Copies of this chain bind each other. A is one copy, B any other.
Amino acid sequence: MKRINTYLPLVALAVCGFAPELLAEDAPVEPTGAAVSHYAIDNLFLFLAAVLVIFMQAGFAMLESGMNSGKNAINILTKNMVDMCAGILIFFAFGFAIMYPGSYTDAIVAPSAFFGFGGFGIYGGSPEVAAGNLHPQIDFLFQAAFAATAATIVSGAVAGRMKFAGYLVYTVILTGLIYPISGMWKWGGGFLDAMGFYDFAGSIVVHALGGFAGLAGAIVLGPRIGRFGPGGKNMPGHNITFAALGVFILWIGWFGFNPGSQLAIAGGDNTNAVMMIAVNTALAAAAGGVFALLISWIIGKKPDLTMSMNGVLAGLVGITANCDSVTNGSAILIGAVAGVLVFGGCKLLEMLKIDDPVSAFPVHGLCGIWGGIATGIFGGHPLMAQIVGSLVISAWAFVTMLGVFFAMKAVGILRVSQEEEMKGLDLTEHGQEAYATA
């Protein structure tokens, strides 16, 4: 173990400290005439969207910390901090160039329908960059925030029992390889895109990927001690106010995630699209929150706040793929169904004795799939392509990460000892307490 702890930093030092000097710099775009205003407006818009998506990291941190035991709060917060910090660096180093290799003329690995690699650092990017509408830097920042989101979804599913060194390995692999490779299949112009699969802002590309990776982690790790079996019980979070704050922040952040994915706001059609997307996002979240609350009330006899919070997030995940393609009424229906689905998904995991402390799979995995399929049902996109694309990316995430987690188990960097788990990861992994008394 100690050797791994020493080794990882050195690799990271090498990647972060020396590689940058080798990196190509982007060539700034110089628009002229009337396009100057539009260029400023579009980039300002994506800058705002990127900031909102980055803010989601605060939301995930609060949600996941609050929904778990106070003895693991430091551990979860450190994971979230690392997902963001290491995620941005790794996506800068090579993730971005794997995900958007299509516009590279001198790629290191020539882009095919399945893989490509342009080189280290920021060149190319989304088609809007090639068209001269977006600066490559802000395109990178927006996309890097998406990568960090995919990574951080998993931290909730594996909370309370995973080694921190193992988590570092996981986050590097997911952010640098798993996410950008399948992301390229759709957003980088790969085979799923060619097939007609549609995923506007990432119900599948981001959320189902993260949700199924989290499911793999939860399965390989096994449940927390005391969760199931004789005497097993629901393990409530230590601070639901933090968790609720997290959901409010995530909702706010989603106004960057979905509207920002239009990648443009200037020009009548773009403006109109962004406004419709914003309202559909709000309506689906609202419907998810209301319906999850109601179903928990009807079946569980009490209006359950955490289920309502799950419902809001489920509605948001469900609308993400199709927020530009459906009517307001459909957005409400998509959110409402997501709110019911997330309730069912939580019960299903409980029946299967899979321990997912923050319901990452029901919210992001299950409702991600629902979003992908709803895009076919309500959004006018070919249903079969939606089903295939949703299953391909989910299976990719699940199978590859199952392999990664099993490999980590074999090497002995996956799960902490029983004693460490009982004592809490904060003290044993980090030597700190979240709530010290003076």
Closest chain-B Cβ to A222's Cβ sits at a distance in Å of: 18
Contact A135 B271 (CB under 8 A): yes
Per assembly, the copies of the chain total: 3
Question: What DSSP secondary structure best describes chain A's contact surface?
Answer: helix
- Find chain B residues with CB under 8 A from A80 CB: 244
A293 adjacent to chain B (CB < 8 Å) = yes
B434 and A239 contact, CB distance less than 8 A: yes
Known: A38-B37, A241-B242, A248-B57. A330 touches B271 (CB 8 A): no
* Cα separation A235 to B301 with both chains bound (whole Å): 30
**Residue A65 CB within 8 A of the other chain:** yes
* B290 A12 Cβ-Cβ under 8 A: yes
Q: Given A6-B298, A61-B244, A240-B432, are A135 and B23 neighbors across the interface (CB < 8 Å)? A: no
Are A23 and B329 in contact, with the CB atoms below 8 A? yes
Q: Is A305 an interface residue (CB 8 A)?
A: yes
- B268-A30 in contact (CB<8A): yes
- Option from B248, B259, B266, B275 in Cβ contact (under 8 Å) with A58: B248
**Are A52 and B52 neighbours in the complex by a CB distance under 8 Å?**
no
Cβ-closest chain B residue relative to A139:
B275
A432 touches B304 (CB 8 A): yes
Partner of A240, one of B17, B249, B265, B435: B435
Q: Are B61 and A297 in contact (CB under 8 A)?
A: no
Q: Is the CB of B237 within 8 A of A138?
A: no
Interface positions of A from 315 to 337, Cβ below 8 Å from B: 327-330, 332-333, 336
**What 6 pairs between A and B have smallest CB-CB spacing?**
A20-B329, A58-B248, A85-B289, A135-B275, A69-B438, A236-B436
Contacts A/B (CB < 8 Å), 21 sampled:
A23-B329, A29-B272, A39-B271, A47-B274, A48-B48, A54-B251, A55-B248, A58-B252, A61-B245, A61-B248, A77-B240, A81-B289, A86-B286, A88-B282, A89-B287, A122-B328, A237-B436, A238-B436, A300-B431, A301-B431, A303-B430
Query: Which positions in A face B, CB cutoff 8 Å?
Result: 5-6, 9, 12-13, 16-17, 20-23, 25, 28-32, 36-41, 43-45, 47-48, 50-52, 54-55, 57-58, 61-62, 65-66, 69-71, 73-74, 77-78, 80-82, 84-89, 92, 121-122, 135, 137-138, 140-141, 144, 164, 235-242, 244-245, 247-249, 251-252, 255, 259, 265-272, 274-276, 278-279, 282-283, 285-291, 293-294, 297-298, 300-306, 308-309, 312, 327-330, 332-333, 336, 429-438
